[in-house]
Amino acid sequence: MNYGVSNTSVAKYIGRNVNWPPNQDKKGSNSMNKSARFVPSIRLAQYDVVNKNGNDMGQVQTFVIDMREGLIAFVLVSFGGFLGISDKWFALPWSALKWHPETMKFILDMPELVLKNAPGMDKDKWLEDIDKWQKEEDLAIIDNYYANHGYESYLGIVRLTAVKRGHHNVEAKYEVNNDKAGEFRFKLIAPNGEAIAVSQGYNAKVGALNGIESVRENASTVVIDDRTV
């Protein structure tokens, strides 16, 4: 997947080297309603991030935008000396942060151990790291890490959005058939004709069809439970 930025610096994204208007506080006190739902991104850079108890954790540095899909891919957050990770910045999934308009801060509800073990970026080389993101697999390590801990998969959102917009040709298919015992099963068939997954057996065809719908609804956000480690 090409994100439409090639070798373009993420400095052309949102939030880098932002100078706040000289007559306006960075919290936007002169023009930003505290209950605002739609907020210009220039006002969000360097807003505070707190935990669910209101304790300071860090600051939003910038937003990484998927220029092709028109979506926020990740929020880049610095945590100062929190948990002893002052040398790294973290690309957090948008779903992990909740905007609190009353305090004008972002709330991050994430266990300390999950955050501490998350893949980070050198705070002085983060642009170099993000410039390497050109295809879906380039985001896989970060995306899979947070998805495995229950956060919504960004790549799942992209694929689901593409299908809804009709921009993606769905070549894979579900195949329903009877097995030797007479039960109904469905297979997920890849574009190359190989079976990716086979369901359990169902006594009635409607059970297999309901199973397909369940997979469709949950596949984009399901977590990976790796029991081999």
Q: Give the C-alpha separation, 208 to 186, whole Å.
A: 6
pLDDT along the chain (229 residues), means of 10: 35 38 42 56 76 89 84 87 76 90 88 89 87 80 86 78 63 87 91 85 92 83 75
Which CATH number among 1.10.1740.10, 2.30.30.240, 3.40.50.720, 3.20.20.480 corresponds to the domain 10-161?
Answer: 2.30.30.240
- Residue 60 CB-density burial (10 A; 0-12 exposed, 13-18 middle, 19+ buried): buried
pLDDT at 169: 56
Q: What whole-number distance in Å separates Cα of residue 53 and Cα of residue 38?
A: 25
Note the pLDDT of residue 30: 44
Which run of H or E residues covers position 161? helix 154-165
Task: For residue 58, count other CB atoms closer than 10 A to its CB.
Answer: 23
* Domain 171-218 -> CATH class: alpha beta
Instruction: Return the closest-CA partner of residue 69 out of 147, 142, 133.
Output: 133
Could you write out the DSSP letters of every residue in 24-62?
S-TT-TTT--TT-SS--GGGTTT-EEE-TT--EEEEEEE
Residue 163 is predicted with a pLDDT of: 65
Rounded Cα distance between 115 and 144, Å, is: 14
Cα distances from 144 to residues 28, 225, 226, in angstroms, run 35, 11, 11
| Ranges of each domain in the chain | 10-161, 171-218
CA 131 to chain centre: 17
Q: How far is CA 121 from CA 77, 89, 124, 129, 137, in A?
A: 10, 5, 8, 7, 17
**Can you give the pLDDT at residue 198?**
93
* The token pair that represents 155 in the structure block: 């790549």
Provide the residue count of the chain.
Answer: 229
Which pLDDT belongs to residue 49? 93
pLDDT of residue 133: 84
